[in-house]
A and B are shown apart, each in its own frame.
Chain A
Amino acid sequence: MIARVAKRGHLGPLVQLGPLTLYMFVFFVVPVGIFLLYSFWTVREWDVVRVWNLANYRQVFWSPVYPKLIVRSLSVGAVTAILSVVVVYPLAYTLAFRLEKYRDLILFLLIVSLFSNYVVRIYAWRSILSSNGLVNYILMGLGLAEGPRSYLMHTPWAVILVLLNVYIPFATLPIFSALLNIESELLDAASDLGAGALRTFWQVTLPLSMPGVVAAGIFIFLLSAGDFVTPELVGGINGMMIGNAVATQFGMVSNWPLGAAMVFSTILVFLLALAALLAARRGARLVRL
C-alpha cells in the first residue's frame, strides 16, 4: 500500500509535466538546433544542400549591409529597452502604491493591449506619423508646418517610438510585480529611521525593484532587436533592421542558410558585446581597487 502510494507520488509529476516538456523539446528546442545547423549548410539551385561550410557567416560579416543592420538592431533594442523601463517605471510605481481603486482596471487595460492585434496597432501608427497623419495635421493646424511632410516616418526613431508603445505592457508588468513584492515593513522601517520619501525611494524601493527592471529591460531588448514588423511598416530604408533581411531570405530570396547565419551572427555579436561590457566593468573595478 505504502509502496503503491510512493510509486504514484513519483510517477504522477512525470505524467503531468512530461507531455509539455516533451512538446517544447520537440517543437522548440530541436527546431532552434536545426535552425543553427542550417546556418552551416548551403543553397544550390533553390535547394538547401547539407554541405558544411562557413560561407554564410563570411557573407554576413563581409557584406557592406548586414553588419550595419546588426548594429542598428542591437542599438534600437538597447535604446528601446532603456527608454521603456524609464518611461514605464512611474506607471508601475503608481499602479503598485497609488490608485488601488483603479488597479484592476489598469492591469486589464495593459492585458488588452498586450493581447490585441499587434500588426493592426503598428499599422495605426502610420496614421499618426505619416505625412497626412495626426501629428502633421496638428502641426499644420497650429501653423507650425507648411504642408504634408514626411519626416517622422522612415527613421530608426519612428521604429523606437512604435516599439516603445507596443511593448509598454511587457515592460510594466515585471516592474509592477517586483514593486508589489516589496514588503511594506521595509518601507515603514525606512521612514521610521527618518528617511524622507525621496531617500526611501532611492535607497530602498528602487534597489529592491531592480530585478523587475532588469527582467523588463532584457525582455524588451530581445523582443525589439528581433522585431521585423515594426521596421517593415514604419522604418523605411533608414529604419530597416536585421529581422527584415532575415525575413527576406525566408521569403522572396529563399536563401535559408544565409538567413539562419544572419540570426546567429546577431546573437554572436550581442554575446561578444555583452562579454566586452562585463569585462570592462570588471576591469574598471580592478583599477579602482
Chain B
Amino acid sequence: MAGGQGLSRAARAFEAVTFPPLRLRELPLLQIYSALALLFLFLPVLMLVVLSFNSAVTGIFPLRGFTLKWYDQALHSRIIWPALENSVIVAISTAVVSAFLGTPAAFVLTRRSFRFKNLVRGLLLLPMSLPTLLIGISLLSFFALLSVTRSLMTVTIGHVVYCVPYMLLVVSARLAEFDFAIEEAARDLGATPFQAFRLITFPLIRPTIIGGMLLIFAQSFDMFVITFFNIGAQSTLPMVIWSMVRLGINPTLNALGAMVMGFSILVLVAAHRVGGVKLAG
C-alpha cells in the first residue's frame, strides 16, 4: 500500500521533470575529469584489494573465485610480526621526536620575524622535496664515517629528517588561523607566558599536534628508502614487503599489501578526525 503510493508519487515527480536538451557546454566536464583522475590515482590500490581476494595462485588475472586464504597466510607468516613490531617502534619514536622538535619551531616560524628566517625555513622544509635516496645514502655515509652501528635508532634519525617538515606544515597551518588575542588576554589577567601557553594555547592546538603525530606515524610506518640504507640486522615491514616484491607477484603479498594500506588509511582517518590535519588550503 505504502509502497504503491510511493511509486505513484515517484512517477508523478518523474513526469514533472522536464529534460533540457543535453549541451556539451553544460556537462560538468571538470567534475568528470576530476573523478577520472581520482580513479587513476586509486586504480593500483583497488587492483590490489580485488586481487587479494582472488583464489588464483598466480596472484593475478584471471579472477577465479573469492578466498580469504591469502590473508590467513599473510597473518601466519613468521617474518612479519617482528618486522611489524620494529615498524611500530620506529614510527612512534619518529612521531614523538618530530612533535617535540617541530611544534616549538613552528611557533617561531609563524609568529616571529628574524634575519635569515627564509633561509632557515627553507632548510627545515627542504628534505620533503628531495629524493629519499639522497637523504638515505648521505646519512649512511655519515654514520659509516663516525663508525655508528646501524640500528632502529639510525633509522629513526633518518625518518625524523624526512618527517619533521610535515609537522612544521601542519602546526603552522593551524597557527596561521589561531587567534593569539586570547593568549594576550590571559597575560593581561596575570598569567606568566608559560602559564598562558600551558593553560590556553596548548590545549587549543593539542588536537593538531596529535593529528600531526598520527600523520607522521603513518608516514614513518610506510617509509622504505631511508630505512633500506640505514637499517642493521633488524627488519621493518616495508623491508619485508620489499624483499617479497622483488620476487614478483605473489597472492600473499597482495593480501599483506592490502592490509598495510588499510592500516595506513585507518591511521590517517584518525589524524583527520582528531586534528583536521591540513597540508594545503
- Give A contacts to B, CB under 8 Å: 8, 12-13, 15-17, 19-21, 23-25, 27-32, 34-35, 38, 48, 87-88, 90-91, 93-95, 98-99, 103, 106-128, 130, 132-134, 137, 165, 168-169, 173-174, 176-177, 180, 218-219, 222-223, 225-229, 232-233, 243, 246-247, 250, 256, 259-260, 263
Name the distance in Å between A181's Cβ and chain B's nearest Cβ: 10
Cβ of A247 and Cβ of B261 under 8 Å apart?
no
Which stretch, B12-20, B35-43, B72-80, B175-183, touches the partner chain A? B35-43
User: B34 contacts A219, CB within 8 Å?
Assistant: no
Query: 9 interchain pairs (CB within 8 A)?
Result: A13-B108, A17-B109, A25-B123, A115-B222, A119-B222, A165-B40, A219-B129, A243-B133, A256-B141
Interface assignment of B152: CB less than 8 Å from any CB of chain A: no
Smallest CB–CB gap between B187 and chain A, Å? 11
Q: Is B278 an interface residue (CB 8 A)?
A: yes
Q: Interface of B with A (CB < 8 Å)? A: 28, 30-31, 33-34, 37-38, 40-45, 47-48, 51, 58-62, 100-102, 104-105, 107-109, 112, 114, 120, 123-124, 126-127, 129-135, 137-142, 144-145, 157-158, 160-161, 164, 193, 215, 218-219, 222, 224-225, 229, 238, 241-242, 245-246, 248-249, 253-254, 257, 260-261, 264-265, 268, 272, 277-281
Are B229 and A250 in contact, CB atoms less than 8 angstroms apart?
A: yes
Contact A112 B253 (CB under 8 A): no
Measured between beta carbons, the chain B residues less than 8 angstroms from A99 are 31, 34
**A-B interface contact total, Cβ < 8 Å:** 244
Q: A23-B101, A125-B44, A133-B61 are in contact. List 19 more A-B contacts (CB 8 A).
A: A16-B104, A17-B109, A19-B104, A20-B102, A20-B104, A24-B124, A24-B164, A27-B142, A28-B123, A38-B141, A98-B28, A111-B277, A117-B222, A121-B45, A124-B47, A132-B61, A219-B129, A250-B229, A260-B137
